[in-house]
Structure 1
Amino acid sequence: MSLSRSQPNTTTTETILPGPPSRNNFSSLDLSSSNLLAFPSGSSISIVDALSLQLISTFPLPPPHSSTSSPALSPFITSVRFTPSPLNRNLLSTEPSSSHLLLAAADRHGRIALLDFRLKSVVLWLEPDPNPKSGIQDLCWILSRSDSYALAAISGPSSLSLYTTSGAAATSTASNCCFFKYEASPEFLSCIRRDPFDSRHFCVIGLKGLLLSVKVLAESENDVVVKEFKIPTDYSDLLRLEKDVAPSGGGVGGSLAPASAVFPLYSVKLAFSPQWRNILFVTFPRELVVFDLKYKTVLFSAALPRGCGKFLDVLPDPNNELLYCAHLDGKLSIWRRKEGEQVHVMCAMEELMPSIGTSVPSPSVLAVAICQSESTLQHVAKICSDAPDSPSAEVDFDNPFDFCDDSVHSTTHMISISDDGKVWNWLLTAEGTGDNLKDTVADSHEIPLIGDNANAVAVTDGLGKESRKQQEFGSGNKNRLPSTLSQDLSFRISLVGQLQLLSSTVTMLAVPSPSLIATLARGGSYPAVAVPLVALGTQCGTIDVVDVSANAVAASFSVHNSTVRGLRWLGNSRLVSFSYNQVSEKNGGYNNRLVVTCLRSGLNRPFRVLQKPERAPIRALRTSSSGRYLLILFRDAPVEVWAMTKTPIMLRSLALPFTVLEWTLPTVPRPVQNGPSKQVLWSSKDQTPVAQDGASTAKEPASESKAGSSDASQDDTAESFAFALVNGALGVFEVHGRRIRDFRPKWPSSSFVSSDGLITAMAYRLPHVVMGDRIWEHTVVGCNNWTFFII
């Protein structure tokens, strides 16, 4: 393995809108102490401000070299980790080592990169070996020296490696870049977590209960101390999954894939207690375990509560004796520690995926994180409020650092991401009466024991001594326990923010075309302005409307239950889309679904609803520039012409052998000759020029000018579309209200003779038509045959 530096990327990535994260990204997420949220989406990494939920940047990881990667694996990013805050940073320096935005990222090809989002470049590459490499399961920064951190990584199913990322490593050889390796086979290693009390110490948990306690004293193999523990747990479900995977994957034991790739729904996570040294919280799919590293024993275990899905992750509260456990079904269970014991009782159950307003089937919660910055401010406020000389606090609503509310004990911000491209910001509030909170103040030397259980008494006594040391270290000589909770607390969770990214893989794209006809159809006298919106149809059936200028999803609509196969704009405020599904392969038949979506009201109105399947699926849609008319093209079936009123009406069915149909492009209004700031709109009836500000340029009463505009909006709404037939003939249909008038087809000049005689591309703007065939010349860029024709 070698280490290499990458040059800064000069190409802009500000206009990249990321897609949704998935389980192929191993539910990776990291939240820095400065509220910067990083999570992977496919092969890209997104940085989001966790408080304002603003997308800051998106960085695509460069693809691997074809000679060193397996073609069967996509370069999904599987782990991201911000560098720890104690690193030296100078905001004015351009050196990578002093950047304030360094991030470690790993992917399914086993590559590890150190990224600088400020410079938009890869600072360091840990290139894989030439042979196909197993993917990375998890990453974690570990303090290896007083001024540098090493990077711990789980590669493949059971390999633990430590890499140096210091400046001296850039000139080192490949042999000492990775200074430590450990193989835990046949265990599947799941995640790595660093000890909050000792940054040199970290733990690794396996799916079957193997626990590794590792301490790094220096960047050498002899200075790494590893201890193995075993947490007893029931992993019979894992054995059944191994049997199911073995026949298709050629055996689990010989697989190089990480644990999350082989068992995506079997999650085992680990977390250190921020209040108690040597205490670990471990969640297996059906069990919550509290483990003591010092006494090498399980202090408490609880089975999965009824009515909720398997455990996904465990998150200890930074300031209070609370545990937050995320579940696969989107629920959040809250556990409170009993006073004097390491016994936790579930006291509340909340939802991280609202059942109202979500699509069916419901999206899945992939990862959850706790904002540390607000917890730090609350911790400082509690310390200041405990000071003996502090004045009596009064509520100041203008002071953001005022937490003196007797009814609110604590507030915690949580960030969750789901596989439909949403980032959720939750506010979890613990409430209780002031008297109950005062009763929780106790002497740290008076910790009650468990009771009759002799083994538990011995363990608790040890924990009590450890607690006294930690309390003296954290708050001096104070006897207050700020993390002790009242039993009368109630919890309430509120959604305070949401960021919508692309909801699924994009299958269709549609751009609105502002036109003079669309403006007059609405009854206005101003030409339509360019709308910076793009509609995207997705694989999951949703339609995302993207604001291009803001590089953000402005709205998302759940429209279809299957892939969106066609999407068009109806003017500037409505969308028409279609999807279909085949009834049966033996008998044939298709269920076509057409829906009109209003962007202003958010309503979806299906039309052309049939009771029986049709023999032909919809092939494409063509909408006029004003949005008044729609062409529905079928596969081997007549074309239908529809008037898109409030209740769409079919005007005519055209049973002609079309090869291509296109509506006329919108006309461009000519500017005023005397003034550059105005445009003149000509009424077709009286030929009176009307200024863009609505006043008549001629010396006529204002009422006559308005009448002319009204007549134009009602009568001058004819639109036409050009078509080509299989014999090469060209024709035009004109639609005026509910009447359709056709012109006699014309033939292009003899110079346009394609090898197969089919016109497959066309653009139409009165009175010209540009056409092309399906033959593409590879030697010369361009179409083999094309012509410019006048109707």
Structure 2
Amino acid sequence: MASTMIPYTVNIKLAARTLTGTLNLQNKTAVDWGWQGLIAQGCHSSILIIDPNTAQTIQVLERHKANVVKVKWSRENYHHSLSSPYSLRLASADAAGKIIVWDVVSGVAHCEIQEHTKPIQDMDWLWAQDASRDLLLAVHPPNYIVLWNGDTGTKLWKKSYAENILSFSFDPFDPSNLAREHCPLFLQVWVSLSRVEVNLAGLRPPGMDPDTLLTSEGIVFITDFSHSKPPGSGGKKVYIASPHSSPAHNKPAAVQPTGAKKALNKVKVLITNEKPTAEAVTLNDCLQLSYLPSKRNHMLLLYPREILILDLELSQTVGVVAIERSGVPFIQVIPCAQRDALYCLHENGCITLRVCRSTAPTPPETVTDAEQNQELVYDLRAQCDAIRVTKTVRPYRVVICPVNENRAALVVSDGRVMLWELKAHASKSGSNLSSGLPPLYSAVNFCGTPLRQNQKGISDLSLNTMIGHSQVWGVEDPRPLPEQKEVHLKFLLTGLLSGLPLPPFSLRMCPPLTTKNINHYQPLLAVGTSNGSVLVYNLTSGLLHKELSVHSCEVRGIEWISLTSFLSFATSVPNNLGLVRNELQHVDLRTGRCFAFRGERGNDEAPIEMIKVSHLKQYLVVVFKDKPLELWDVRTGTLLREMAKNFPTVTALVRFHPKSVCFERRLNRGGALGKKVV
């Protein structure tokens, strides 16, 4: 007895694939690389979750109504159990003041927070404390700091200040203060001073807690910041003065320094308790302020053409990274924790890596300034290729992997995400001496485990396995060990995530999946752009499959004639007579070959309005604006018929499927109705 097949139905829930395009200016700072290895990026009101290993968008979070301005991953650095399971949590804030805490795996909003309707200035998770793993600190404009419970959306406390707060950061070397209910906090504010917008930066006086608030005229040090209650006092304010305006820094004239020494002496600052005049304030173009995670009590100030390294105990500048007059200005800097190095982003999209080295000690009899021995020098060790910067294409932000610190992701305004990886290559001994830089040497151990005898070297797993400890500033004996090799660093482009072009553009999906093409089917989407190129996306991965330069003007329409080829048309700008140049191209995806489907036709004629291909992909109808339509044979590329001049103007055209019920009924009726079916 033959067995009967029992039919059954399988419901497969497919996640929606979202293809993003050009970013909004408010998305500039909405990017974060989490400790689990995923990148979160804001694109208009959506949030993309990108896997840098495959350069794919694996999740899209959509619930915000306004542009996303901040995204922050939760570190999840707590004991996980059945009662406290591991989950991918992400906090996002938009321009309308709403904060959403996401369960990234399911794509569901776990919690929504709304305090005001203005853009969130900054936010971060309070991770270096044991009270709760759900504490989320946010800056609500103009001058409010609010601590939220990110799990329930409960407001724990709220504190207002007299100054407008811009951002905050934590001192990485003082997590113990959090356990004593004191959080090392630095707040940065932005208000008007002397009719210009200034972003000041300053130093922490010795002996004070590192809870600081930066105001328009100086710094407010907060000594009672706690996660259990809001700060009770307004803190202590100190001011910033330039060294040439202070009597303590008036010295006799000496030999004029040159180079980096000249720039270093020019920007040294002094903490005072007196309010300086507007002319004395020199730090008026600060782009960024951040603690150095590789040096205790050190902070950096970023300016368009220089980076200052501040020693908070000495209350002075101990290092400067200056750009040459012909160099490209800075946009952003990211200090590393594993090595004393700086990732710098420039206005041309170039990422540079600068590694600190200790300067050779100067003989005591030649020292004219005791502060010169404290100078830090950061040498340029690697840089990636720049991008083509235009009015609409600019670098927005760079993030690095917080675990390895040898991978960087560059976010461009046109929606691209460029993934760069730092590689170390063995070089010949003394190859760096020609450039005037001391050599870099490889690491001799991995997490304390030395190299074995049959082991040639350590893989480039992280930054600390690429550069040896002899390159750390302050090492007394910088000479290499016998097993160390001289290396040089360079960036490699390992991934590229492209976005959709600027609208308008035309879209057309490839033919559907059938039982005949199931073995070789690919869900491809063709996108025609305004510059004449056609982008083909694979919707399974969301990646760009092919980019073809097909036309010389804007693509007006696309029609697929098979799974591997399509027809696209474009029209030029009309002349004085209203005639255009029509381009109808046949494109083969397998080879990339394009040829004019209509041959020599197309010059000085009415513009093409639309093209339609039959369901069996045998015939093509070309509809013009003020000209009768044409019927073509797709397989042979021959013109079958051109309608008469008195043919009615076509405004809409739909091809009936040969097997459709409606089509068969009309054919069976015959007579006049059947003759009208084209």
Q: Determine if the alignment matches structure 1 residue 201 to structure 2 residue 184.
A: yes
* Matched residue SS, 2:404: helix
Task: Give the corresponding residue for 1:151.
Answer: 136
* Matched residue SS, 1:565: strand
What amino acid maps onto 1:332 in structure 2? I
1:429 deviation in Å? Answer: 2.0
Distance 1:276 1:529 in 2: 56
Task: Give the corresponding residue for 2:488.
Answer: 490
Instruction: State how 1:643-682 maps to structure 2 within 5 Å.
Output: 643-644=633-634, 652-654=641-643, 655=645, 656=647, 657-663=649-655, 665=657
1:194 deviation in Å? Answer: 3.2
Equivalent of 1:109, from 93, 96, 109?
96
What amino acid maps onto 2:148 in structure 1? T
Task: Give the corresponding residue for 2:309.
Answer: 290
Counterparts in 2 of 1:645 and 1:269: CA distance versus 1, 3 Å: farther
1:569 deviation in Å? Answer: 0.7
Distance 2:17 2:380 in 1: 42
Counterpart contact for 1:578–1:592, Cα < 8 Å: yes
Counterpart contact for 2:201–2:289, Cα < 8 Å: no
Counterparts in 2 of 1:581 and 1:415: CA distance versus 1, 3 Å: same
Counterparts in 2 of 1:420 and 1:296: CA distance versus 1, 3 Å: same
Counterparts in 2 of 1:201 and 1:645: CA distance versus 1, 3 Å: farther
Q: Deviations over 1:369-401 (max 9, x none)?
A: 2123334xxxxxxxxxxxxxxxxxxxxxxxxxx
Distance 2:226 2:477 in 1: 35
Counterparts in 2 of 1:309 and 1:136: CA distance versus 1, 3 Å: farther
What amino acid maps onto 1:16 in structure 2? R
* Matched residue SS, 1:221: coil
Taking structure 1 as the reference length, what is the TM-score of the superposition? 0.56
Q: Deviations over 1:528-581 (max 9, x none)?
A: 976533334456765443444555554444556765432211222112223445
1:12 deviation in Å? Answer: 6.9
Counterparts in 2 of 1:514 and 1:43: CA distance versus 1, 3 Å: closer
Task: Give the corresponding residue for 2:253.
Answer: none
Q: Deviations over 1:261-294 (max 9, x none)?
A: xxxxx99334432211232333333433323344
Counterpart contact for 2:64–2:94, Cα < 8 Å: no
Counterpart contact for 2:356–2:377, Cα < 8 Å: yes
Q: Determine if the alignment matches structure 1 residue 15 to structure 2 residue 16.
A: yes
Q: Determine if the alignment matches structure 1 residue 218 to structure 2 residue 218.
A: no
1:321 deviation in Å? Answer: 2.8
1:81 deviation in Å? Answer: 0.3
Task: Give the corresponding residue for 2:43.
Answer: 41
Equivalent of 2:160, from 181, 205, 221?
181
Counterpart contact for 2:567–2:587, Cα < 8 Å: yes
Instruction: State how 1:527-676 maps to structure 2 within 5 Å.
Output: 531-537=522-528, 543-550=534-541, 553-557=544-548, 559=550, 564-580=555-571, 582=573, 590=580, 592-605=582-595, 616-627=606-617, 629-644=619-634, 652-654=641-643, 655=645, 656=647, 657-663=649-655, 665=657
Distance 2:508 2:55 in 1: 27
Distance 1:504 1:231 in 2: 47
Distance 1:482 1:667 in 2: 82
Distance 1:226 1:113 in 2: 34
Counterpart contact for 1:514–1:571, Cα < 8 Å: no
Taking structure 2 as the reference length, what is the TM-score of the superposition? 0.65
* Matched residue SS, 1:509: strand
1:201 deviation in Å? Answer: 2.7
1:303 deviation in Å? Answer: 4.4
Distance 1:588 1:505 in 2: 25
What amino acid maps onto 1:637 in structure 2? K
Task: Give the corresponding residue for 1:426.
Answer: 420
Counterparts in 2 of 1:154 and 1:328: CA distance versus 1, 3 Å: farther
Counterparts in 2 of 1:195 and 1:616: CA distance versus 1, 3 Å: farther
1:620 deviation in Å? Answer: 1.7
Q: Deviations over 1:22-49 (max 9, x none)?
A: 1341242111112111111221112122
Q: Deviations over 1:274-324 (max 9, x none)?
A: 211232333333433323344444334444446664422212233233222
Counterparts in 2 of 1:629 and 1:360: CA distance versus 1, 3 Å: farther
Distance 1:278 1:313 in 2: 21
Equivalent of 2:400, from 363, 370, 381?
370
Distance 1:510 1:119 in 2: 30
Counterparts in 2 of 1:370 and 1:530: CA distance versus 1, 3 Å: closer
Distance 1:769 1:138 in 2: 67
Counterparts in 2 of 1:310 and 1:118: CA distance versus 1, 3 Å: same
Q: Deviations over 1:191-246 (max 9, x none)?
A: 544332235334345573323835633343326857676598xxxxxxxxxxxxxx
Counterparts in 2 of 1:612 and 1:635: CA distance versus 1, 3 Å: closer
Task: Give the corresponding residue for 1:508.
Answer: 506
Distance 1:152 1:118 in 2: 23
Q: Determine if the alignment matches structure 1 residue 325 to structure 2 residue 308.
A: no
* Matched residue SS, 2:384: strand
Task: Give the corresponding residue for 1:691.
Answer: none
Counterparts in 2 of 1:568 and 1:135: CA distance versus 1, 3 Å: same
Flag the structure with higher helix content: 1
Equivalent of 2:147, from 152, 163, 182?
163
Task: Give the corresponding residue for 2:76.
Answer: 85
Counterpart contact for 2:328–2:347, Cα < 8 Å: yes
1:101 deviation in Å? Answer: 0.9
Distance 2:674 2:93 in 1: 52
**How many residues get paired?**
529
Counterpart contact for 1:320–1:483, Cα < 8 Å: no
Task: Give the corresponding residue for 1:346.
Answer: 380
Counterpart contact for 2:528–2:558, Cα < 8 Å: yes
Counterparts in 2 of 1:413 and 1:638: CA distance versus 1, 3 Å: same
Task: Give the corresponding residue for 1:738.
Answer: none
1:481 deviation in Å? Answer: 7.6
Counterparts in 2 of 1:279 and 1:128: CA distance versus 1, 3 Å: same
1:141 deviation in Å? Answer: 2.4
Counterpart contact for 2:561–2:567, Cα < 8 Å: yes
Structure 2, unaligned stretches of length 5 or more?
1-11, 176-182, 191-196, 203-211, 214-221, 243-284, 360-374, 430-438, 445-468
* Matched residue SS, 2:122: strand
* Matched residue SS, 2:403: helix
What amino acid maps onto 2:421 in structure 1? L
Q: Deviations over 1:646-697 (max 9, x none)?
A: 9x665654342223334453669xxxxxxxxxxxxxxxxxxxxxxxxxxxxx
1:135 deviation in Å? Answer: 1.6
Deviates more, 1:338-347 or 1:543-552: 543-552
Equivalent of 1:413, from 404, 407, 415?
407
Distance 1:80 1:304 in 2: 31
Deviates more, 1:652-661 or 1:41-50: 652-661
Between the aligned residues of both structures, percent identity stands at 22
What amino acid maps onto 2:291 in structure 1? F
Counterpart contact for 2:442–2:485, Cα < 8 Å: no
1:114 deviation in Å? Answer: 1.3
RMSD: 4.8
Task: Give the corresponding residue for 1:139.
Answer: 123
Counterparts in 2 of 1:527 and 1:430: CA distance versus 1, 3 Å: closer
* Matched residue SS, 2:97: coil
Counterparts in 2 of 1:478 and 1:25: CA distance versus 1, 3 Å: closer
Counterparts in 2 of 1:532 and 1:218: CA distance versus 1, 3 Å: closer
Counterpart contact for 2:101–2:110, Cα < 8 Å: yes
What amino acid maps onto 2:170 in structure 1? R
